[in-house]
Amino acid sequence: MRNTMLVGWVAAAAILFLLFAGGVATADEMKMVGDVVKIEISGPNAKTAKATLKDTKTGKLVTVIVNDDLTLDKFKDHRIVVGDEIRCKYEVQDGKNVSKYFRKTAGC
Amino acid sequence: MLLAGVAAAKEHPGKEYIERNGYQGPSTCEAQGCHPGTAKEFLDTVHWKHASPVPNVEGLEPGKEYGMKNRIYTMCNGNDIVNHLKEIPASPVTGKTKFAGCNTCHPGNHISDVGSVGKDAENAIDCLVCHASKYDFRRRRAYKDETGRVVMGQDRSKEAALSVGRPDVRNCMVCHESAGGGVLIKRGFAYARETDVHAKNGMVCVDCHAAKNHRIPTGFDPNNWASDGIRVSCEDCHKETPHKDGDLNRHVARIACQTCHIPRTGGAIAKDFTRWTQGADKFYEPTTLSKEANETTPVYAWYNKTVRNEPHFIGPKGSREEMGSRIYPFKIFEGKAFFDKKTGNLLSMDFAPPMSTGDALAGVASAAKTLGIKEYEPVPGWQTIYFGSTHLVTKEKALTCFHCHSRNGVLNFRALEYAEKEEEKLTNASIYFDKMAEQQKEEW
């Protein structure tokens, strides 16, 4: 009986730990609108790029890492250029802002 | 050697000519007997005219062509006429101007604009924006020339011309993803591996929308009126009995493929042209509620490929009784704009004034002036639009028996003209229980 209870407590503690650890590992998603002030890609075959945005609310510069092919393609053929206004969502992973959503606000 | 042969077959010929002579536009494409007469031919397509005869929509003037050139509806309250590409007056806050307009995506240079004809128009066609894989979009920007005319730039560089070929998804999406006021706003689908089985299988837009002499086949979207007169449908590739299961094949007669295979939609759900919201750049945009691709559910209706067109409603016609009708999914959208109290008709809007100052009625006044409408009484009102839902195709997540034939199923059988007793029968597990129980056994 005591063994059964002990196993129960250990299991509960493990679940709590996993939930807590999971919460820590899942970075908060940040949202911003800002103008592109700099795009750094390292050549036509680059699989990653850095884009610096000037937050329109705070005026602060935020650099995000962009890894998705669609946005990288738009950097390479200049559909997205310095001066464009962007709606961006990113997560902080290992101290870096990793883009999860990077779209021009403008349409036709 | 075989692979080399395949690669060589994909290579577009004439590159030596371009290397030697550079690229001057359509004349280069037509030089040396290549693509003769193509530029003139292109001027008679929907991509150039933004209009065509529209035989399947009610309430239109016979003999007149319709399309984004001249239509008014509440996803795009302007059109190429009243809201043509122009320099928007300076924002009172920043003092900056910008270029905007419905025909920003027109593949001309704006001097030769929507529907223009003649040699200048032929020379103005931007072939490479659709056909080059290395187009530099820094060159495709609007600017004012020395005489003050607004010109749309083009990339006619040798590098772009040397990358010419069949249009890829990117070429099409340059314009088609940002229609209606932003990325994925209007149609709300992302043509990507994650969201569409055709994209996952490596297909590009023109595999289905396969052009014939630059005439692009389209489906029968109730809100996409202009067409090149040729149509695309699932049955062009998938036969009329596409399933192994006979029960599913029996559904095909009255249920469109899209109904089961496109269970989600996305994009703008509602927009208000009477209330413009100031953005970060201090210019205004119509207030818009939008969702991602796959975030919203469609509405289902009978559709016989003809369209009810009224000031407050644009959507499918059809009925259960009519054997040519099938149940289709639609993306539903509601737009608020100004209607003329005198005629009941929707009024159009020039976006330049509200974009600069937020004054929506000034936009209505400017459009009325352009159209020669002297008397009108603007009152706000709503319009409901049914958009066709024909992308975001899925095989794995397709609807199956219980998605429709259950009490909480996606189909509203009463709204689809079924009697109460029929509904009771159609939403009972007895319809599919034995079959699904067998399937479940096989799966596990």
DSSP state, residue B287: E
Q: What is the dihedral of CA B236, B241, B243, B248, to 10 degrees?
A: 120
A106 vs B contacts (CB less than 8 Å) = 100, 178, 182
A79 touching B (Cβ < 8 Å) = yes
For residue range A65-97, list pLDDT tens digits in order: 999 999 999 999 999 999 999 999 999 999 999
With the C-alpha atoms ordered B11, B17, B22, B23, is the resulting torsion angle positive or negative?
A: negative
Q: Please state, in angstroms and rounded to a whole number, the distance separating the CA atoms of residues B1 and B178.
A: 42
Whether A24 has a pLDDT exceeding 70, the answer reads no
Q: Please state, in angstroms and rounded to a whole number, the distance separating the CA atoms of residues A6 and B304.
A: 67
Residue A37 three-state SS: strand
A107 vs B contacts (CB less than 8 Å) = 178-183, 185
For residue range A26-74, list pLDDT tens digits in order: 568 999 999 999 999 986 778 999 999 999 999 999 999 999 999 999 9
Q: Residue B182 and residue A70: Cβ atoms within 8 Å?
A: no
Q: Alpha carbon of A80 to those of B19, B300, B391, B412: distances in Å?
A: 28, 37, 25, 44
Minimum-distance CB partner of B185 among A33, A78, A107:
A107
Q: What is the mean pLDDT of chain B?
A: 94
* Minimum distance, in Å, between the CA of residue A78 and any CA atom of chain B: 5
A105 vs B contacts (CB less than 8 Å) = 182, 279-281
* Minimum distance, in Å, between the CA of residue A5 and any CA atom of chain B: 35
Q: Please state, in angstroms and rounded to a whole number, the distance separating the CA atoms of residues B159 and B156.
A: 8
Q: Residue B137 and residue A78: Cβ atoms within 8 Å?
A: yes
Instruction: Among A56, A69, A75, A77, pick the best mutation site for testing chain B contact (most B Cβ within 10 A).
Output: A77
* Minimum distance, in Å, between the CA of residue B207 and any CA atom of chain A: 20
Residue B284 three-state SS: strand
* Minimum distance, in Å, between the CA of residue A67 and any CA atom of chain B: 16
Q: Please state, in angstroms and rounded to a whole number, the distance separating the CA atoms of residues B342 and B103.
A: 30
Containing B378, the helix (H) or strand (E) segment is strand B378-388
Containing B129, the helix (H) or strand (E) segment is helix B127-131
Q: Please state, in angstroms and rounded to a whole number, the distance separating the CA atoms of residues B88 and B98.
A: 5
Let me know: does B180 contact B75? Beta carbons within 8 Å.
yes
| Chain B residue whose CA is closest to A78 | B137
Q: Residue B280 and residue A79: Cβ atoms within 8 Å?
A: no
Q: Residue B280 and residue A85: Cβ atoms within 8 Å?
A: yes
Instruction: Residue B53: name the closest of B40, B74, B39, B69 by CA.
Output: B69
Q: What is the pLDDT of residue B240?
A: 84
Q: Residue B102 and residue A108: Cβ atoms within 8 Å?
A: yes
Helix residue ranges per DSSP H, B230-297: 246-251, 257-261
* Minimum distance, in Å, between the CA of residue B419 and any CA atom of chain A: 45
Q: Please state, in angstroms and rounded to a whole number, the distance separating the CA atoms of residues B419 and B328.
A: 20
Q: Residue B281 and residue A103: Cβ atoms within 8 Å?
A: no
Q: Residue B135 and residue A34: Cβ atoms within 8 Å?
A: no
Q: Residue A105 and residue B180: Cβ atoms within 8 Å?
A: no
Let me know: does B346 contact B379? Beta carbons within 8 Å.
no
Q: What is the dihedral of CA B125, B129, B133, B135, to 10 degrees?
A: 100
Q: Alpha carbon of A78 to those of B45, B138, B181, B185, B281: distances in Å?
A: 28, 6, 20, 21, 20
Q: Residue A85 and residue B182: Cβ atoms within 8 Å?
A: no
B135 vs A contacts (CB less than 8 Å) = 77
Tokens of A33: 């609108």
Let me know: does A79 contact B137? Beta carbons within 8 Å.
yes
Q: Residue A106 and residue B182: Cβ atoms within 8 Å?
A: yes
Q: Please state, in angstroms and rounded to a whole number, the distance separating the CA atoms of residues B209 and B376.
A: 42
Let me know: does B313 contact B57? Beta carbons within 8 Å.
no
Token look-up 């996409």 returns B224
With the C-alpha atoms ordered B416, B418, B424, B429, is the resulting torsion angle positive or negative?
A: negative
Low-confidence stretches of chain B (pLDDT beneath 70): 1-10
Instruction: Residue B388: name the closest of B309, B318, B331, B335 by CA.
Output: B331
* Minimum distance, in Å, between the CA of residue A47 and any CA atom of chain B: 17
Is beta strand A85-93 parallel, antiparallel or unpaired with respect to B65-66? Answer: unpaired
- Percent of chain A scored above 90 by pLDDT? 64
* Minimum distance, in Å, between the CA of residue A92 and any CA atom of chain B: 22
Structural class in CATH, domain A29-104: mainly beta
DSSP string, B48-82: HHS-EE-TTBTTPPTT-EESTTT---SSSSS-TTT
Q: What is the dihedral of CA B76, B78, B84, B86, to 10 degrees?
A: -90
B136 vs A contacts (CB less than 8 Å) = 77-78
Q: Residue B280 and residue A105: Cβ atoms within 8 Å?
A: yes
Q: Please state, in angstroms and rounded to a whole number, the distance separating the CA atoms of residues B255 and B365.
A: 45
Q: Residue A108 and residue B101: Cβ atoms within 8 Å?
A: yes
Beta strands in B185-325 (DSSP E): 265-278, 284-296, 299-303, 307-310, 313-316
| Chain B residue whose CA is closest to A54 | B280
Q: Residue B170 and residue A34: Cβ atoms within 8 Å?
A: no
